[in-house]
Structure 1
Amino acid sequence: MIWNRCIQFYFHLPIFLRLILSVTLIMLLFGFIIHLIEPSHFPTLFDGVWWAFVTGSTVGYGDYVPLSTLGKAVGIFLILAGGGLVTFYMATISAGTIKHEKDLSDGKIAYRGKNHIIIVGWNERTRQLTEMMRNRQINQDIVLIDHTMRNISYKDHHIHFIHGNPTADDVLQKAKIKDATHAIITADPSFKENEADRQTILNIISAKGNNPELIIVAEILTDIQQKNAERAGANLIIRSNDFMSSLFFQTIFQASNHATDIIAKTLEQQQFCTTPIDPDMAGQNFHACAVKLLDNNKWLIGIMRADEIMIHPDFKLILEEKDMLIYLQPF
């Protein structure tokens, strides 16, 4: 009974553990045998085990050599049995390492960290986001969920890729969504706008269902689906089409021919930031706080108060202790 349990336990071990255990047992066995056969040349059990490992791995230092015919026969059996097993062990490790790297690139390996950011959908916007995080040396891990890509190069993007449908629970569990802090859900470019928004809403529902505390930033393309995305649980909605429409209008109808260049250069050279208000600024008006931030090369453009965002409020507006400042800052 005990022997059967030991055999079952052995065959339930991972292949790497089984191989290293087998190699160790064989080397211990041959080391013990050679110690018994030639105790004068192998005075201790460790000497015999050392010879077995050196001989079985075909290194052959020559510091311990069997002299008797029986000892040499044991050496032959060791080379045939142990040498082949060690070679197979090394080949298995190499093949397993290559397979693991391929599975990582193919998005088959579950993420094992926590406090990470999940990105749903790989496109130019999310690619630039990962590049910005890497360039600013932000150490927070990124887990990408995408069903259209077959693999991704980790040398180029430094993210953990999960291949699959972002509405499937098993895929979200692979991404450890319960331990994530934020999720960025982008519009799927392979769908039409209405279909892309419906898919985004399904992704929001799935993410919130697995982690109600998750902060979700979602991209919505049509106005009619914005409320539905908020009802689904999105904390912040980004309307990329609104910005592009405004930019097109400025390009065609604005009197200045350089309006588009001005907007584009502003976006390229500045980044949006938010920060809690300094205690000494509470009680002062918006204008006074804006002047103080300008001294630090920051352009104050608005505040967040509770759930309300105020862009370019009245200069006489008095700021409160719980306000968040919204400003532009050079990269």
Structure 2
Amino acid sequence: MKKWIYVFLALVIYFIVVSVLTLFESNADGSNIKSFSDALWYSIVTLTTVGYGDLYPVTPMGKIVGLLIIISSVGVLGYVIGEIMAKINDYMEKKNQGYWGTDFTDHYVMIGWNEFGRSVAQQILNSGKKIAIVVDSKEKLDLIKSIFETDNCFVLYSDIQNYDSFKKVNIEKAKSIFVNLSDDTETLVFILNLKKKYSNLSFIATCKNASLKDTFMSAGVNYVVPQSEVASRLVASYIFEPQVAEYTEDLITTSKSDLESDIQQYRIIDSNEFANKEYLEIFYEIKQRFNAVAIGLVSGQGLLKNPDNDHLVKSGDYLILISAGKVKSELEKFFGVLEGQ
């Protein structure tokens, strides 16, 4: 409010000075400032430092007033430029912090950041998907932006307890939400509160204490990954079957090159020729056409790790494959959908 009072007072003083200049110059011999509009034009040209020279004061008092206008123009111009730069800097800072939001859809949202989250984000981005990350410190924001310089990664700096701010990451149109907080209790409470506001979201969470897995599931988390449990299984596999463990680790990691393989899933749409075909027939065709291996199916019955040979694959089912990176684009073209969608 004070700012606008100062602006009003400055305008009043400005018009008073212009009126005084008109008073001194309008009736003077040889003067070219004959009216208020002439004086106003002279002051504007002077304040903007254009200086056409078409109008100028000729009386001693008029020159003094003109000198005041010239001197004040430096301050006014500096103030205006400063205000413009401040607005631009404020806009850019808000943009950097994600204040203006994103229009991502069918993306993934990660809430919280640490080294584990960094690995997860890297895998998502390697697969060509989009991710929005919410952090509660500027240091983390700057770190993420320095690591992932890509249009597929959006970062929001916000208080994670401000649930309304998640609208800026278009959370309601996200495929799933990965809650990546440091404490299991904090994660559980956070999910319970977030589900009150966004009840239809799909949640994924990790927990350090494997015994809390059922608690997380009861709270409405769709998938719970106990970090120690997954790590221990992989380590045990390396101990007694290292080649299998190495292959498993490779499969669950998004392929970065044409020669690497990973596990992918593709939705069967109505127009796809696999709709209403038996699983065994699809298995052979996938192998022959793309040198990929069908290993399972997701249907209304849930995950089928090894469907019966005569199991009918229907539109809307997801076919799970092992394939090399080099045929990913061919598979997406054949199925008419992107991997995982």
Q: Same fold (TM over 0.5)?
A: yes
Q: CA offsets, 1:208-249, max 9 Å, x none?
A: 112112222222344432222222222333344443222111
**Residue 281 (str. 1) matches residue 274 (str. 2):** yes
Aligned length: 302
Matches within 5 A, 1:149-188: 151-153=141-143, 154-157=145-148, 158-164=153-159, 166=160, 168=161, 171-176=162-167, 179-180=170-171, 181-182=173-174, 183-188=176-181
User: d(CA) in 1 for partners of 2:18 and 2:298?
Assistant: 74
2:338 — aligned with what?
none
1:269-292 deviations in Å (ceiling 9; x for gaps): 245433321443233222222333
1:126 maps to a residue whose letter is: G
* Change in 2 beyond 3 A, CA 1:258/1:235: closer
Instruction: Find the counterpart in structure 1 of residue 283 from structure 2.
Output: 290
Change (3 A) 1:322 1:176: closer
Once the two structures are TM-superposed, the CA of residue 252 in structure 1 deviates from its matched residue by: 0.7
Q: 1:243 and 2:214 equivalent?
A: no
Q: 1:142 is matched with which residue: 115, 128, 132?
A: 132
Give 1:37-186 correspondences, 5 Å limit: 37=25, 41=32, 51-57=42-48, 59-69=49-59, 70-95=61-86, 97-98=88-89, 110-113=99-102, 117-131=108-122, 138=129, 140=130, 142-146=132-136, 151-153=141-143, 154-157=145-148, 158-164=153-159, 166=160, 168=161, 171-176=162-167, 179-180=170-171, 181-182=173-174, 183-186=176-179
Root-mean-square deviation (CA, aligned residues, Å) is 4.1
Q: What SS is found at the alignment partner of 1:74? A: helix
CA contact (8 A) 1:118 1:145 kept: no
CA distance in 1, matches of 2:265, 2:322: 9
Q: Which amino acid aligns with 1:174?
A: S
Question: Under a length normalisation based on structure 2, what TM-score does the superposition of the two structures give?
Answer: 0.68
Q: Which residue of 2 aligns with 1:315?
A: 309
Partner of 1:305: 299
CA distance change for structure 1 residues 91 and 155 in 2, over 3 Å: closer, same or farther? farther
Distance 1:285 1:98, change over 3 A: same
Unaligned 5+ runs, structure 2: 256-260, 326-341
TM-fit CA distance, 1:84 = 1.0
Distance 1:133 1:23 in 2: 56
Question: In the aligned structure 2, how far is the partner of 1:152 from the partner of 1:264?
Answer: 30
Per-residue deviation, 1:207? 1.4
Larger CA deviation: 67-76 vs 81-90? 67-76
| One-letter code aligned to 1:259 | V
Partner of 1:159, secondary structure, is strand
Compared with structure 1, are the counterparts of its residues 53 and 292 closer, same or farther at alpha carbon in structure 2 (3 Å cutoff)? Answer: farther
Query: Counterpart of 1:281 in 2: which secondary structure?
Result: coil
Deviation sequence 1:163-199 (CA, Å, 0-9, x none): 43x3x2xx2222327941335334434xxxxxx3322
Taking only the aligned residue pairs, the percentage that are identical comes to 16
| Structure 1: stretches of 5+ with no match in the other structure | 1-10, 190-195
Distance 1:94 1:67 in 2: 33
Q: Distance in 1 between matches of 2:215 and 2:22?
A: 78
Q: Which amino acid aligns with 1:292?
A: E
| In structure 2, distance between residues paired with 1:305 and 1:96 | 53
| Amino acid paired to 1:175 | F
Contact preservation (8 Å) 2:42, 2:56: no
User: Given the superposition, is the C-alpha separation of residues 248 and 130 from structure 1 closer, same or farther in structure 2, using an over 3 Å criterion?
Assistant: closer
CA distance in 2, matches of 1:216, 1:286: 30
Match of 1:262 in 2: 247
The aligned amino acid for 2:63 is: K
CA change 1:124–1:73 in 2 (3 A) is same
Q: Distance in 2 between matches of 1:208 and 1:74?
A: 67
Are the counterparts in 1 of residues 100 and 168 from structure 2 also a CA contact under 8 Å?
A: no
